[in-house]
Chains A and B, each alone.
Chain A
Amino acid sequence: MKRRLINLFALLACTAVVFGCSSSEDSSSSSPETASASESVEEVGSLEGTVEVSGSSTVEETASASESVEEVGSLEGTVEVSGSSTVEPVSVRVAELFEDVAPGVAVNVDGPGTGDGFELFCNGETDISGASRAIKDAEAEACAATGVEYIELQVGIDGIGVMTNANNDAVDCVSKGDLYALVGPESTGFDSWSDANDLAVELGGTGGFPDAPLDIFGPGAESGTFDSFNEMTFKSIAKSRDQESREARPDYVSSGDDNVILTGIQGSDTSLGWVGFAFAANAADVKLLEMDGGDGCVAPTPVTIASGEYPLSRPLFIYVNPAKLADNPALEAYVDFFMTEVSLQDAVTEVGYVPLAAVEMAATQNTWSSR
């Protein structure tokens, strides 16, 4: 009996060793790729947006920033940031860049969600609250009740690109209703594009999708893009149709890795998929679909996303408590830094969102400086 148990252990140990060895080879070969990926992220960052306008102002911003470096560098204090988990990475990235300028300032960032964030913010517990939508009336009233004022600053845009294979000529433009019919909660089991026609017509579309295999690739439930896509695309339609689920159908190929989704879309001529816009914009060999929000088809570009014309986009805000500014110079310095080109352009791009267009960015900066 004892000997058998030992054998069992030995067998398990052997499998462990075999798996373990193969893993070390895999990962060591992949590490140089990660390094090159980091470089490409930086490149993308500088490529994004309107280069002519932003280029000149970057120089000014850095110049003015370097003047105040000595003051800011000796600052000490704590800044508490909470709110949307979508905005969280932006605030964290900005805090990381800010750390190099003001090492004495501790910026703590949390991401319980936009609603929870406002609750803390209106209780005066946080200095800044991130939000993936504008503050609701009820939340504004709650803030007013406790005497907490706020400064609303838009810092970027969360956009989603819907894609199909470059060889797919049948589809150029879809509406939210079409997407609901193809990948929404009621589409579970649709194997062919044409399966969705009835539902698409019912939702006010033209239908007319061809009888071709519908191969869907998208982010999994662990991804923030999954939530964003559900909220922007399905939520209101599912609500009006009394559907319990307001999420994408469960039967599609999901991945946390955008590259895997892209490979899937490239691999099937009649595929459909979606990823965050910053990634989609740089994807090769795929066709980015136009979206019809009711006023004709709009192609996703940094301009149409920044202006809100493209339907699958939503603004990202930070809300600052002005009362906290007076006794916390660290907070003012952090928001000042947040308003520079380095943050609003580069940091926003680095974590996968669309930076504001030049005009909107200037407007945000102006709102802050003229507070």
Chain B
Amino acid sequence: MKIGSTLNDGKVADRINDEIRRRNSDPRGIIFRTFLQLGLFLALLILTVLLVDVVQNGWGTLSTRFGDFLSGTLRSRSIDEKLGVHQGLVGSFWIAVTTAIVAFPIGIGAAIYLEEYAPKNRLTRFIEINIRNLAGVPSVVYGLLGLFIFVNTFGKWTGGKSLLSAALTLSILVLPIVIITASEAIRATPQSLREGAYGVGATRWEVVRRQVLPYAAPGILTGTLLAMSRAIGEAAPLILVGAVTGRLGTNPGFLDLGALKERFVAMPIVITEWTQNSGRDPGFAGAAAAAIVVLLIFVLALNSIAILLRNRFEKRRK
């Protein structure tokens, strides 16, 4: 009754009309929108400035000796012809591969169990809250965990302070992130899909396998992708589990499995070390910037593989 009467009022009708036609008669709304746009603009601006700065500083190295830079190693002087990021790339590559092999199956499995099988009671809620807390634990703590478990306790199999220990440590570090994002994706699966499948007599396993997982796959992939990028960008825990900072005596190839049990270096460590070196040898600042560009390209390459996979899953979903 009241609604009807206000609607008949000409002003309100006009306002609704304006709103529908997106004519802006609402000053507070305009301010809010401008504020949001400003936020977006600032975020993009900061990102652009960072990118431009890094490319600008690294350009000298990238444009003159890109090939040598990719195949070179850690050196004591920035003018050294053999200075490069090869060892760092090998380390980061294996960290990415191991995280994918170890953390993803375990994390996605845990998420499926929590969402589809586990009863919703206090215990599972408690576990879920703790997984969320684990995702916020500082990475150095995981480094200590890795030092204790993989370097000391299982040193016989991992080779002690080694690339394998580091990769396993980072797998544990990203596990909570994988579980949380996979859980969210599974939870977003419409209940009607499950009910429909149960209705035609499917078992729980068949529902998960044929309905839930295909629907949640793109979301799960996006989450695991973020987790992998996180693992590649970590430096602090690596120092504790065997990354060298000054010099790595060997320069193994990408497919050299023996290197997994040896000491190693990864891209974030290379970048940190060279930035510190720039105090004593300013030429290292350019090398550090170039290494950042290489790391960005590396992460983008990994991401684009994951995006291609996601698109394939999304097509199948439709």
Interface residues of A (CB under 8 A from B): 4, 8-9, 12, 15-16, 19-20, 22-24, 26-28, 30-31, 34-35, 37-38, 41, 78-79, 81, 85, 88-89, 91-93, 95-96, 105-112, 219-220, 222-226, 256-259, 276, 350-352
Distance in angstroms between the alpha carbons of A41 and B281 in the assembled complex: 11
- Report if B245 contacts A (CB, 8 A): yes
Complex interface: chain A residues within 8 A of B60 (CB): 26-28, 30-31
Give A308 Cβ to nearest chain B Cβ, in Å.
22
Q: Write the B195-207 contact mask toward A (1 if CB under 8 angstroms, else 0).
A: 0000000000000
Q: Which residues of A contact B310 (CB under 8 A)?
A: none
In the assembled complex, which residues on chain B have CB atoms less than 8 Å from the CB atom of A19? 52, 56
13 A–B contact pairs at CB < 8 A?
Answer: A8-B44, A24-B63, A26-B56, A27-B56, A37-B79, A85-B245, A92-B76, A95-B247, A96-B76, A110-B246, A111-B246, A226-B279, A351-B281
One of B44, B63, B246 near A88 (C-beta < 8 A): B246
Query: Would you call B278 an interface residue if the criterion is a C-beta within 8 Å of the partner chain's C-beta atoms?
Result: yes
Given contacts A107-B247, A110-B245, A222-B275, contact A27 B77 (CB under 8 A): no
Is B285 an interface position by the 8 A CB rule? yes
**A110 in contact with B244 given A19-B56, A27-B59, A27-B63 (CB within 8 Å):** yes
Given contacts A92-B76, A256-B278, A350-B77, is CB(A78)–CB(B44) below 8 Å?
A: no
Is B257 an interface residue, CB under 8 A from the partner? no
Query: Could you tell me which B residues sit within 8 Å of A by CB distance?
Result: 37, 40-41, 44-45, 48, 51-52, 55-57, 59-60, 63-64, 74-80, 239, 244-250, 263, 275-283, 285-286
Q: Is the CB of B244 within 8 A of A224?
A: no
List 9 A-B pairs, minimum CB-CB distance, nearest first: A106-B249, A223-B279, A27-B60, A23-B56, A109-B246, A109-B247, A92-B76, A38-B79, A257-B282
Closest chain A residue, CB of each to CB of B78:
A34
The answer, among B48, B51, B64, B249, for a CB contact under 8 Å with A79, is: B249
Residues of the B chain whose Cβ atoms lie less than 8 Å from the Cβ of A226: 279
A-B interface pairs (CB < 8 A), number: 129
Residue of B with least CB distance to A90: B76
Which residues in B have their C-beta under 8 angstroms from that of A93? 76-77
One of B55, B247, B275, B281 near A23 (C-beta < 8 A): B55
Give chain B nearest CB distance to A356 CB in angstroms. Answer: 19
A345 to chain B, nearest CB (A): 16
Contact of B75 with A222 in the complex, beta carbons under 8 Å: no
How far is A28 from B64 in the complex, measured between Cα atoms in Å? 8
CB pair B280–A223 under 8 Å, yes or no, is yes
Q: How far is the CB of A124 from chain B (nearest CB, A)?
A: 13
Give the chain A neighbours of B248 by CB distance below 8 A.
106, 108
| Of A91, A108, A351, A352, most B-chain CB atoms within 10 Å | A108
In the complex, the answer to whether A111 meets B245 with C-beta atoms within 8 Å is yes
- Is A16 within 8 A of B48, CB to CB? yes
In the bound complex, residues from chain B placing their C-beta under 8 Å from that of A79 are 249
Contact partners of A27 in chain B: CB under 8 A: 56, 59-60, 63, 286
CB pair B75 A96 closer than 8 Å = yes
Residues in B with CB closer than 8 Å to A223 are: 279-280
A351 close to B76 (CB less than 8 A): yes
- Give the distance in Å from the alpha carbon of A15 to the alpha carbon of B51 in the complex: 11
Flag if A89 contacts B76 (CB, 8 Å).
yes
Which of B40, B247, B276, B282 is most buried by chain A, counting CB atoms within 10 A of its CB?
B247
A16 / chain B contacts, CB cutoff of 8 Å: 48, 51-52
Instruction: Give Cα A20–Cα B57 distance, bound, in whole angstroms.
Output: 10
- List 12 additional contacts besides A12-B48, A93-B76, A93-B77; criterion CB under 8 Å: A4-B37, A20-B55, A20-B59, A22-B56, A23-B52, A24-B59, A27-B56, A27-B286, A88-B246, A108-B263, A222-B279, A351-B280
Among B64, B276, B279, chain A packs the most CB atoms within 10 A around the CB of B279
* B263 nearest in chain A by CB position: A108
Minimum distance in angstroms from A99 CB to a CB of chain B: 8
Closest beta carbon of chain B to A155's beta carbon, Å: 14
Contacts A19-B56, A92-B75, A351-B77: A276 and B280 contacting too (C-beta < 8 A)? yes
Whether B280 pairs with A12 at a CB distance below 8 angstroms is no
Contacts of A22 in B (CB 8 A): 56
Residues from chain A with Cβ under 8 Å of B41 in the complex: 8
Given contacts A12-B44, A31-B64, contact A88 B280 (CB under 8 A): no
Which of chain B's residues has its CB closest to A227's CB?
B279
Assess whether B59 is in contact with A23, with CB atoms less than 8 Å apart: yes
**Residues of the A chain whose Cβ atoms lie less than 8 Å from the Cβ of B239:** 112
Smallest CB-CB separation from A37: which chain B residue? B79
Instruction: Let me know if A107 and B279 touch, CB within 8 A.
Output: no
B282 touches A256 (CB 8 A): yes
Q: A220 near B279 (CB under 8 angstroms)? A: yes
Inter-subunit contact A92/B247 (CB<8 Å): yes
Bound: A296/B281 CA distance, A: 34
Closest Cβ of chain A to B63, distance in Å, is 7
CA distance A26 to B286 in the complex (A): 12
Smallest CB–CB gap between B248 and chain A, Å? Answer: 6
Cα-based distance from A30 to B64 in the complex (angstroms):
11
**Residues of B close to A222: CB separation below 8 A:** 275-276, 278-279
The chain A residue sitting closest to B249, CB to CB, is: A106
Q: Which residues of chain B come closer than 8 Å to A88, judged between CB atoms?
A: 245-246
- Output the nearest chain A residue to B52 by Cβ-Cβ distance: A19
Cβ of A102 to closest chain B Cβ, rounded Å: 11
